[in-house]
Chain A
């Protein structure tokens, strides 16, 4: 099993719908991240959390919210999805006490019609 698991892996939805992407990890890492990837571009940071009580906005947080339910779980919500949120979403973890190396889930491909 993967150390960082994302669900769903693929989702097609309609404009205005609420969508939640979930991430769970078995690495025991403190830090968790949500990134977005658009075609031809690198990953951009949406939100990050350094521990359960710490939530921070990244560079493109508008239109998104997150919840850190436990050390191992970090979910990303789109309250009212719009077509330009169509993208590949990645969850990642890193260890606070370590060297900051990022480990990624397999990605969640979201299409908003």
Chain B
């Protein structure tokens, strides 16, 4: 069936450290998004990235569609980066509907 796997499930960092979050998907995709859920529960769009590489400040993302994975890089982490990071995938065979992974919970300590 449709699967989206994120790793690691939990990550604890010291402020200033770098991190890489991974999203594996099981089939060809129409699109892929990364979201940050802040401690108040709000979902914030980070990247729309079905393929290629994008950067936005300290965050960047790369999707290698042929190998069915995406990576989210966070550099020089800050305490405000804490929260849950979700990957959401729209498969070719399930157009118009996105499937979410279970997320990576990031805690950045001061």
Whether A90 touches B96, Cβ cut-off 8 Å, given contacts A42-B103, A101-B31, A101-B48, is no
Q: Report how far A40 CA is from B48 CA in the complex, Å.
A: 23
Binds A, one of B14-22, B38-46, B61-69, B71-79: B38-46
Select the residue from B30, B35, B41, B101 with max chain A CB neighbours within 10 A. B41
Q: Do A103 and B45 touch across chains, with their CB atoms under 8 A apart?
A: yes
| Band of interface residues on B | 20 to 34
Q: Report how far A5 CA is from B19 CA in the complex, Å.
A: 33
Q: Do A58 and B102 touch across chains, with their CB atoms under 8 A apart?
A: no
Q: Report how far A42 CA is from B42 CA in the complex, Å.
A: 13
Q: Do A48 and B96 touch across chains, with their CB atoms under 8 A apart?
A: yes
Q: Do A101 and B33 touch across chains, with their CB atoms under 8 A apart?
A: yes
Q: Report how far A33 CA is from B98 CA in the complex, Å.
A: 10
Measured CB to CB, the nearest residue on chain B to A50 is B96
Q: List 18 A-B contacts (CB under 8 A).
A: A31-B96, A33-B97, A43-B88, A45-B97, A45-B98, A45-B99, A48-B96, A48-B97, A58-B97, A88-B41, A100-B30, A100-B31, A101-B48, A102-B33, A102-B98, A104-B35, A104-B42, A104-B45
